[in-house]
Amino acid sequence: MARPRIGLDIGATAVRAVELSMRSSPPSVVRVAEAPLPPGAVSNGEVREPHAVTDALRELWQRGRFRSREVMLGVANQRVVVREVSLPWLADDELRQSLSFQVQEFVPIPIDEAVLDYHVLEEFENDGGRMQRLLLVAAHKSMVAQFVQAAEGARLSPVGVDLIPFAIVRSVGTIDGSGLDEEDFGDEALVEIGADVTSICVHAWGVPRFVRILPTGARLIDGSGEEDVDPPAPPPGIVELGDIFPKPEAKPNSMQLVTGRAGGFADEINSSLESRESSCRAVGPSFPGSWSSSLTECRLRWFRGARCIG
């Protein structure tokens, strides 16, 4: 019998888990639960207070009644580096064994302090030699260890650590699930807005091509915790970003502050997509430049219609 799979998200405001049944194709969601976290337990996508996170995970498992304690941890923060690199072609087992030696120049982390993984984008020829282009992922071991420590404290067994943007692509980045048709030209960007961190992943029919993790989220936009802004309290879990715009009873300067922050946030996303467009002109297939202008022109309507997970 196929064992269930459980994905675990340790966010800034809550811990959440989803259990998938592998008996069907595609797999089906059978259990979902969340439990709140105390303020400061997780900040900027990193675990700051492992014991507090452990307590929340224990509560989560009591609420969710999940059938397994094996979990896949999701991670996305500024201590994760994603780079597109080109290396001489090697078989997968040889590449994994030599990866740390081959990518030292591309990773701004001491190799002995990093956890490395990669996704092969494509193979190509260069001056008669066989090459491969990779999407390289490097994470600080100490950061990952904090997540693992918190999970193991709740008697959970992490079986892997996944980059959140990759997980989101696998969830919705198929032809049937993403809105892309086989004849569509260009790539698609998926933007996940958390409380403290925003993840951008550009993919081509489910294959990740570009990842950027921004140290900005909904809490910075709505001014949570600041005296001069009156953001409405969002419901737990998934909230509409439109809800963060001030209500009529909010302080007079709230709309101006929130609108300005949202505009700056949109500009950050816009810049990320423009950098992706530039790199595609240099090394890959064409990328639709209309994205950048359309995002800028429609950014407030886009934000009001976006969904925020955090």
Confidence of residue 8 (pLDDT cuts 50, 70, 90): very high
Report the length, in residues, of the chain. Answer: 310
Rounded-to-integer distance, Cα 61 and Cα 68, Å: 10
What average pLDDT does the structure give for the chain? 78
Of 83-92, 161-170, 212-221, the one with minimum mean pLDDT is: 212-221
Confidence of residue 310 (pLDDT cuts 50, 70, 90): very low
pLDDT of 77 higher than 80: yes
Q: If DSSP states are collapsed to H, E and C, what string results for the chain?
A: CCCCEEEEEECCCEEEEEEEECCCCCCEEEEEEEEECCCCCEECCEECCHHHHHHHHHHHHHHHCCCCCEEEEEECCCCEEEEEEEEECCCHHHHHHHHHHHCHHHCCCCHHHEEEEEEEEEEEEECCEEEEEEEEEEEEHHHHHHHHHHHHHCCCEEEEEEEHHHHHHHHHCCHHHHCCCCCCCCCEEEEEECCCCEEEEEEECCEEEEEEEECCCHHHHHCCCCCCCCCCCCCCCEEEHHHHCCCCCCCCCHHHHHHHHHHHHHHHHHHHHHHHHHHHHHHCCCCCCHHHHHHHHCHHHHHHHCEEEC
Q: What is the mean pLDDT of residues 107-111?
A: 92
The reported pLDDT for the residue numbered 306 is 37
Q: Mind listing the pLDDT tens digit for each residue in 187-242?
A: 778 888 888 899 988 887 778 888 999 988 888 776 654 544 444 444 444 334 44
Query: What superfamily would CATH give domain 5-77+142-162?
Result: ATPase, nucleotide binding domain (3.30.420.40)
Q: Where are the domains of the chain?
A: 5-77+142-162, 80-140, 173-309
Rounded-to-integer distance, Cα 214 and Cα 221, Å: 13
CATH class of this structure's domain 80-140: alpha beta
CATH of domain 173-309: 3.30.420
Q: Which token pair is 54? A: 């452990």
Q: Are strands 188-193 and 198-204 parallel, antiparallel or unpaired?
A: antiparallel
Domain 5-77+142-162 shares a fold with domain 80-140:
no
Q: What is the pTM of this model?
A: 0.75
